Amino acid sequence: MKCELKRSIQKGLVQIYTGDGKGKTTAALGQGMRAAGRQYTVYMIQFLKGMHSGEIDAVQNLHPYFQIFRFGQTEKFFYALSEKEKSECCQDVRRGYRFALEMMKKGECDILILDEIMGALYNQLITVYEACSLIHHKPEQMELILTGRDAPQELIELADYVSEIKMVKHPFSKGIKAREGIEY
């Protein structure tokens, strides 16, 4: 659903949030919320996330300016999936990749966030070439944001912004599990 826009981005850039620290998705969500507050249309495509998370509920309040679409939904880490689950997940991630290309082609949003696309790359569900192709197919007036650990050098070179979020200390090392409203 395309919103009636009051403005458009003159020159959309490419942003990457990467690193082993907490906050990559949170940074992308913050950027999306800022843009939605200015009545830009924001689509976030989440890869490899299935657990219900607070951002899903919060973003519903920003509809129609901010929407989240999920592909490759799983509550487990990819390596813990059975071969059948991996195959199904891969097919769904591929649908998400095609969906992202279609959103670019149609120009349905001002900001497109590809959350955890680096996880899809790491697990070889899409290729670096395909991820680079997304950047090359980005419309001039669309901002593209990619998140996830271990951004490949090829993507870093194509991006305009790259922020590395580094873990210095994390409560998981003390046995503290992810907390609702904080980590998810």
Whole-model pTM? Answer: 0.87
Q: For residue 62, what are the contacts with CB-CB under 8 A and spacing of at least 6?
A: 33, 36, 42
Report how far residue 143's alpha carbon sits from residue 22's, in angstroms, rounded to the nearest whole number.
23
Both tokens of 69, joined, read: 């679409």
pLDDT at 19 (0 to 100): 97
Report how far residue 9's alpha carbon sits from residue 12's, in angstroms, rounded to the nearest whole number.
6
Q: 3-state DSSP helix/strand/coil percent for the chain, to nearest 5? A: 40, 15, 45
pLDDT at 4 (0 to 100): 52
Q: Report how far Cα 1 is from the mean position of its chain's Cα atoms.
A: 19
Which of 22, 7, 45, 3 shows the shortest CA–CA distance to 144? 45
pLDDT at 7 (0 to 100): 62
What is the block-wise mean pLDDT of the chain (184 residues), using blocks of 10 residues?
A: 61 97 94 93 92 84 90 77 87 95 94 97 96 96 97 98 94 85 78
| Secondary structure of residue 177 in the 3-state scheme | coil
